[in-house]
Amino acid sequence: MKNIIGLGEILWDMLPSGKVLGGAPSNFAYHVSQFGLNGYAISAIGNDLLGKEILDSLVEKRLNFLIENVDFPTGTVQVTLDEKGVPQYEICEGVAWDNIPFTQQSEELARVCDAICFGSLAQRNVVSRTTILKILELVPATALKIFDINLRQHFYSKEIIENSLKHCNILKINDEEVVIVAKLLYPVIAAKAAIPQTVQEIAGQARNDDFEVEVCKRLLQEYNLKMVILTKGVIGSSVITTNETSYIDTPKVHVADTVGAGDSFTGTFVAALLNSESVRNAHKLAVEVSAYVCTQHGAMPKLPDAFVELYK
């Protein structure tokens, strides 16, 4: 069975309705596992009740994990939802997942994994950043290495983004993040495009499709990527490779919240690719699953059998 790693933060999302298990890499690993693959969450928790509850929840969800106890509190994120169910995050600092240790078990798993997903957020602290890069160096060259960029608050830098792009072969990015990355890496392209001038102005502005595709293709070529996945919320999503571009509109659904929808998209897409689906078919399934997750509360709902029965 194929081994898939979600590497980085694990935490409690403190929603208005109560706390739910979250953290993009862990969400990814959970959704991959629903398609019959061996998903693992690699992270860290504190020696506290919230940490124990995370382990209990992972056991209940039957998700494999390599999660170390460290002398920092278990991570939490205060989540507020707007009228459309779109979350805003207030992420606590100095927490357990900022201090993920490198272990013999994580080294051994990295050497035999078939795919790994990581982001920028867990690299905000040098301890976890060092561990993440060590693990990425051990992953087989044939594995899918997904950088789900996941820019949050001020917890990223040009250096982290560039270094991560050098360690991945698939990039997942959304339309707001494209603007930020363009300003950091391609200021000449950004200056020529009719885009908002500050991060705060990005939300709600009309998107420049030509600009977004130009930036994605530039990243694809410059970093020798297999593909770039561009998601655009309620508008649609694209998967861009050197040979093709797949675009699909986002289905219209009644949204409970969008927490974890992007992670379910990534997990489903990767699971489908590893189950020998074409890019187009993997994209279709990822869109359908992420739309379903938007109708549920929290990042890790159980998927209906109709989505996963072909892969069991």
Predicted confidence at residue 194, as pLDDT, reads 58
Predicted confidence at residue 208, as pLDDT, reads 60
Rounded mean pLDDT of the chain? 91
Domains and CATH numbers, the chain: 3-311 (3.40.1190.20)
Residue 207 CA to residue 234 CA, distance in Å, equals 12
Token readout for 147 is 């950088």
Predicted confidence at residue 78, as pLDDT, reads 87
Residue 312 pLDDT grade (very low, low, confident, very high; cuts 50, 70, 90): low
Predicted confidence at residue 259, as pLDDT, reads 81
Mean pLDDT across the stretch 279-292? 96
Predicted confidence at residue 88, as pLDDT, reads 78
Q: Is the pTM of this model over 0.85?
A: yes
Over the Cα atoms of the chain, what is R_g? Answer: 18
Q: What tens digit of pLDDT does each residue of 71-115 get?
A: 999 999 988 877 766 777 789 899 999 999 999 999 999 999 999
Predicted confidence at residue 85, as pLDDT, reads 67
Q: What tens digit of pLDDT does each residue of 188-231 get?
A: 888 877 555 444 444 444 446 788 999 999 999 999 999 999 99
For residue 250, the SS3 value is coil
For residues 172, 175, 181 and 186, what is the CA-based torsion angle, rounded to 10 degrees? 120
For the sheet with 75-81, list strands across it. 18-22, 11-15, 75-81, 87-91
Percent of the chain predicted with pLDDT > 90:
76
- One-letter amino acid at 261 equals A
